[in-house]
Amino acid sequence: MKYPKVEISADKIAFNVQKLIKDANDRGIELVGVTKGVLAHPQIIDAYLEGGLNYLGDSRIQNVKRIRDYGFTGKVMLLRAPMLKEISQVINYVDVSLVSEHKTLEALDLEANRLGKKHSFVVMVDVGDRREGVMPEDVDEFVVDSQKYENLQFLGLGLNVGCFGGVLPTWDNAQVLVELKSKLESRGIEVPTLSGGSTCGISIMYKEQLPAQINQLRVGEAFLIGNDSVREVKIPGTYQNTFRLTAEILEIKERPSQPAGEIGKDPFGNTPHFPDRGIRKRAIAAVGKQDVVINSLIPEDKHVTIEGASSDHLILDISDSQREYSIGDEISFDMEYGTVLFSMNSPYVSKEFYWNTI
């Protein structure tokens, strides 16, 4: 099965990696290559390694396993706190966990002891986004307590923004980590790593608005599509056109833009509303909400608009297009991060990698 398909310019991803590593290293920042958006696909790992990454991260233990099965022997970070039910695999495949609960640390310590292994951890701090992390006022005590685990090594502090609460990364919220670090160091606890967030940290790095003590960023989107979707800005000097989706057209018909009949909810819990735009020429492409996020899909034909989708059908308005579409034609789209994530995770979408696109 070939369609829908995603074409991936692996060489452009490798280029993005190389460019960002150089600019980050110039500022004393280490980068972790995040693979969760692409199911830790082997060819993306190739692109990351080709670009010079030697430290990878993923939020899912299954993807970490995939990274190890691929043969990667470098450092791997688990980006979501380990589940108690997966501790054994975490100790076996992961070097560094991001944690915010002592119960997790206790389980890691016990299992590391049992398997005769060492494990490292970064304590996550909630600097305002209100997803995970120890509250800043509790960090001191949390870290002091966490020195007792004999099989675990405390590496430092981490933050996340732009994920749940939509909080933007700033000098001030990164500075929270810097202040906590100096407090801990005054108590004799070394804090070698300050992990200052994700792609959105890259944007502020370029604006020189990242405190100098931040020495690590965990990056996916900037490598994969050269974009920061939190600030909706392109990362300077990188490629954006790295992923392209193509689907086949199944049907073309003129029909009223407005549904007729009593309106209930769609399967996703939304009540659809469509303005009356008269009779429009509509095409259906064979791809749906199981494979894409429609508001991060951009038709290459600028005169085509996406009207919506169901799980398997993408509804397009082609009335204003200059092209004469026919049944069986291919139609292509630029992909933003949300769609990249869904498509790479969808078994219905085939993936084609290219290494000669620059």
Ligand X SMILES: *Cc1c(COP(=O)(O)O)cnc(C)c1O
Q: What positions carry a catalytic annotation?
A: 36
Q: How far is the CB of 221 from ligand X (least distance, A)?
A: 4
Rounded to 10 deg, the angle between the 10-26 and 199-206 helix axes is 50
Helix locations, the chain, DSSP H: 10-26, 42-51, 61-70, 87-93, 102-115, 136-145, 171-186, 199-206, 221-225, 337-345
Residue 41 sits in the site that holds ligand X (CB under 6 A) = no
Q: Nearer Cβ to ligand X, position 109 or 336?
A: 336
Please choose, out of 15-23, 133-141, 218-226, 301-309, the segment that lies near ligand X by the rule CB under 6 A.
218-226
Structure tokens at 198: 């994700």
By CB under 6 A, tell whether 34 contacts ligand X: yes
Q: Are 37 and 276 in contact (CB under 8 A)?
A: no
Closest to ligand X by CB, 4 vs 37, is 37
C-beta closer to ligand X: residue 120 or 198: 198
- Spatial separation of the C-alpha atoms in residues 275 and 349, rounded to whole Å: 32
Spell out, one character per residue from 222 to 261, where the chain touches ligand X: x when CB under 6 A holds, - when not.
Answer: x---------------------------------------
Beta strands 30-34 and 55-58, pairing class:
parallel
Between CA 66 and CA 62 the distance in angstroms is: 6
Tell me the residue number closest to ligand X, measured at CB.
Answer: 220
Among residues 199, 216, 321, 346, the one that binds ligand X under rule CB under 6 A: 199
Reduced 3-state DSSP string for 152-178: EEEEEEEECCCCCCCCCCCHHHHHHHH
Q: Which residue has tokens 């966990």?
A: 97
Rounded distance, CA 31 to CA 28, Å?
10
The residue (of 222 and 331) whose beta carbon lies closer to ligand X is 222
Minimum distance, C-beta of residue 59 to ligand X, in the bound complex (Å): 5
Q: Which of residues 143-172 bind ligand X (CB under 6 A)?
A: 160
d(CA 39, CA 319): 37
Quick check: 59 binds ligand X (CB under 6 A)?
yes
Nearer residue to ligand X within complex by CB, 204 or 314: 204
Site for ligand X in 87-126 (CB under 6 A): none
Which residues contact ligand X (rule: CB under 6 A)? 34, 36-37, 59, 79, 160, 198-199, 218-222
